[in-house]
Amino acid sequence: MIQKPKGTYDVYQEKGRKILYLENIIASLMEYYNIDYVRTPIFEASELFHRGVGETTDIVSKETYDFLDRGNRNMTLRPENTAGVVRSYIENKMYGEANQPIKTWYYGPMYRYERPQSGRFREFYQFGVEIFGSNDPALDAEIISIPVNFYKLLGLKGIKVNINSLGDSESRENYRQALLNYFKPHLNCLCEDCQRRYEKNPLRILDCKFDANLDIIKKAPRILDYLNETSKNHFLNVQKYLKAMNIDFEINPNIVRGLDYYTHTVFEVEADIKGFGSQNVLCGGGRYNNLVENIGGPSTPGVGFALGLERLLSALEFENIKLIEEKSLDLYVIPMSENEKEYASSITNGLRMSGFKIDIDYMNRNIKSNFKQSERLNAKFIAIIGEEEINNNYLTIKNNKTKQEYKVKIEEIIDFLDEHLDHDDDCNCGHHE
């Protein structure tokens, strides 16, 4: 049997409903922040990610899905969406628009050829935000507030915000020098990858999954000691605005992030949930003031984040948050025989267009198993249609909870359902206001 590719998963039934529910919440939350939807292609020229995410990152050097298209162009399935959104910002000349800053959000699949393990997939979904055109530290704090508010809105309690600063170019250069000096006498203790990183980008050594527990890594110089005045001020202001918004955070100097484009603020949100496991980073992001220029646009500051949907779903499961109500129907229609099916279709179609949730028996069940099916579907009412009903222009409608039966004239069905769904149950079909 053909199976799904390693590191991917199918979505169906309850999980599908949960995901659609989350997507709706995301879209409406974004309206509250005045952030516009953006969608970019799932594949882009490979060069975009080399220049954007960085050659020395694990993501680009080991994890991309690359292919030659039929025109011999090097293409890559996007491992993340910041680079793609920046490309789109430049290509569509959004920097020239009057309504700065440009605020965008996206949701969609990303691809990384990682070793599949709990919380890590090869195809995974991210919801993210990218904002261009302002270097205001209040915006860094606003970006951090989005995932925090989203998680709170969903009822997650065990969340922890870690922040750090990587400073501006000058601070980073000073820090780079400090790392080069520090690691020089220890080079042969480091893995081969890190020896290469030493030459190209020593900051990446701090992010190595292989060497992470070495003492020399733990005792390496800290970026916060190398921030210049401008960078220190920026970082202090971000903290001021986070406090103003009542967002708890911790400064964690170990956060360097696995992508090269960051300057100033970087942050991660962790699930501080017992037993959640090591893949507990729910979300990450930060400021990237040089990326637009590096990809070929005018010098423009940017800041953003992305959160993984899969890790969010498992955090919700760990905290026992159900998210969605049990599925239900307003009415389940049972035609007694083949002769009543046309009539049933006509009535069902009309009622659906009037805003009721309805299904019909398509399996020609006998009446007893149809009652069972109506319970499985959590139908509030059942409509039985037989010869007698058609000849006399009414339906036999049964309340599935109270078992009370009604004979309702065809032209009165909408009023009947409106009234009884309101009275008999907590109806949320949206058309009774």
Query: Which among 137, 155, 153, 132 is positioned nearest to 35, based on CA atoms?
Result: 132
- Please list every residue from 61 through 90 that binds ligand HAM, using CB under 6 A: 80, 82
Q: Is 297 in the site for ligand HAM (CB under 6 A)?
A: no
Does the footprint of ligand HAM cover residue 282 (CB under 6 A)?
yes
Q: Does residue 283 belong to the site contacting ligand HAM (CB under 6 A)?
A: yes
124 binds ligand HAM, rule: CB under 6 A:
yes
Query: Where does this chain touch ligand HAM (CB under 6 A) — which range of 120-128, 184-192, 199-207, 326-334?
Result: 120-128
> How far apart, in whole angstroms, are the C-alpha atoms of residue 232 and residue 237?
9
3-state secondary structure (DSSP) of residue 87: helix
* Nearest distance from C-beta of residue 214 to ligand HAM, angstroms: 23
At its nearest, how many Å lie between ligand HAM and the CB of residue 149? 17
In terms of residues, how long is the chain? 433
**Which one of the spans 145-153, 276-284, 331-339, 355-363 is the region binding ligand HAM (CB under 6 A)?**
276-284
Q: What is the DSSP string of 208-259?
A: -TTTTT-HHHHTSPPGGGG--HHHHHHHHHHHHHHHHTT---EE-TT---SS
Q: Does 42 bind ligand HAM (CB under 6 A)?
A: no
- Where b means 16+ CB within 10 Å and e means fewer, 225-237 reads ebbeeebeebbeb
Q: Is 333 in the site for ligand HAM (CB under 6 A)?
A: no
The span from the CA of 157 to the CA of 315, in Å, is 10
Interface with ligand HAM, residue 147, by CB under 6 A: no
CB-wise, 140 or 330, nearer to ligand HAM? Answer: 140
CB of 202 or CB of 285, closer to ligand HAM: 285
Rg (CA), the chain: 28
- Residue 126 interacts with ligand HAM (CB under 6 A)? yes
Give dist(CA 66, CA 52) in Å, integer: 15
Considering only the stretches 118-126, 167-175, 373-381, 384-392, report the one whose residues sit in contact with ligand HAM under the rule CB under 6 A: 118-126
Number of residues that bind ligand HAM (CB under 6 A): 25
| The token pair that represents 377 in the structure block | 């579907």
End-to-end CA distance of the chain: 51
Residue 121 within binding range of ligand HAM, rule CB under 6 A: yes
Instruction: Judge contact between 263 and 285, C-beta under 8 A.
Output: no
Q: Which stretch binds ligand HAM (CB under 6 A): 148-156, 275-283, 368-376, 415-423?
A: 275-283
Cβ proximity to ligand HAM: between 150 and 183 the closer is 150
When asked if residue 128 is in the footprint of ligand HAM (CB under 6 A), the reply is: yes
Q: In whole angstroms, what is the distance from residue 58 CA to residue 114 CA? A: 10
Identify each DSSP E strand in 357-431 by its residue range.
358-360, 379-385, 394-399, 405-409
Which member of 54, 133, 301, 308 binds ligand HAM (CB under 6 A)? 308
**For binding to ligand HAM (CB under 6 A), which residues are involved?**
80, 82, 112, 114, 120-121, 124, 126, 128, 130, 258-259, 281-286, 304-308, 310-311
